[in-house]
Amino acid sequence: MTVHLFTPVEIGGVTLPNRIVVSPMCQYAAVDGSAQPWHLVNYGMMAMSGAGLLCLEATHVEREGRITQGCLGLYSDDNEAALKPVVDWVRAWMPNVKLAVQLAHAGRKASAQRPWKGGGPLTQADAPDLPWTTFSASAVPYDTKWHTPVALDGVGLKRVKQAFVSAVERSARLGFDVIELHGAHGYCLHQFLSPLTNRRTDEYGGTMEKRRRFPLEVFEACRRIWPREKALGIRLSATDWVDGGMTIDDTVETARQLKALGCDFIDVSSGGNSPAQKIAVAPGYHVPFAARIRKEVGIKTWAVGIITEPEQAERIIASGEADCTAHARAFLLDPRWAWNAARALGAETPPLPLPAVRATTILPFKPQPMLAKAAD
């Protein structure tokens, strides 16, 4: 019997060995955007999970666009150099795994505390030079106690777009297979898309068509320089979950226009743009959004959102609701989630690096041939 979750899938010009994606998860452990030893340990562990695609956390295209002081970046030569050992390690030891990076700009939600410090806005009480200036579609703060962002003018729009392009160029030099632009969760590109945050009266605001103009321009600029044999997609919030906010109908049309520009996949999430959101949270609660976009637009979709059980993920893929399932906290709890999913579903198991092969001698299944680097 075919286990659909463990069949290959082509995303753009990239073939994933299975349909499981390690979703981007911020680690808040970088220093001025540069990866630290933690990142090597964390992503090395996730690369051995058995997932077909490992996507690095939100990696910010501007220093001012970081969510927190500990967020990863790809806006400097130092950032690029610090991330290279992480990519090189995965390539050397887990060559079957495809690598993605999520490029992001936090917009008005930048200059925030790390989650374990409350996640609220930074203040001068934290340090004399804080908070830093934030930017958005309009000068509308996230909440009453948050700093008011600067509305991006023409020069600022060009700067942010170029920052995304420069990060794409760095991603190409590092050798990533896939790029996901972050257009969800209330961050900068989402702030342009939503009427809750975009109050502009120029060519980038007003109607939905005008509100999506800047995100589409950013995507088009990135697609122009990202090789066609590699995959480029975007994470979108399907709905704001707020009356008067962005709807799934809006997002279906946005996805349709992105596809026309060469978008290879939509990673379908929701919310994050307003503290007034009312989300009906339940296992797989984003799946219907992913299914609708996939059906109506004819584009590959990833489903996210409390997909924790192998049988649940298998049903999503087998039913055609999405092309991949993306998992975050499930992998934090069980870094071998995909391996254990294969065992539970009776599928052939993904490769392990050679130093870990001994584990297979006590488990009731036959692993695939190990293709990872051997120790000298």
Catalytic residues: 187
Residues 6+ apart with CB under 8 A from 17: 8, 52, 96, 98, 350
Residue 236, SS3? strand
Residues 6+ apart with CB under 8 A from 54: 21, 22, 43, 46, 47, 90, 97, 98, 99, 100
Instruction: Supply 275's token pair.
Output: 């503290």
Give CA–CA dist 112/84, Å, rounded.
27
Give CA–CA dist 26/49, Å, rounded.
18
Number of neighbours of residue 200 by Cβ within 10 angstroms: 17
Instruction: Supply 151's token pair.
Output: 């509305």
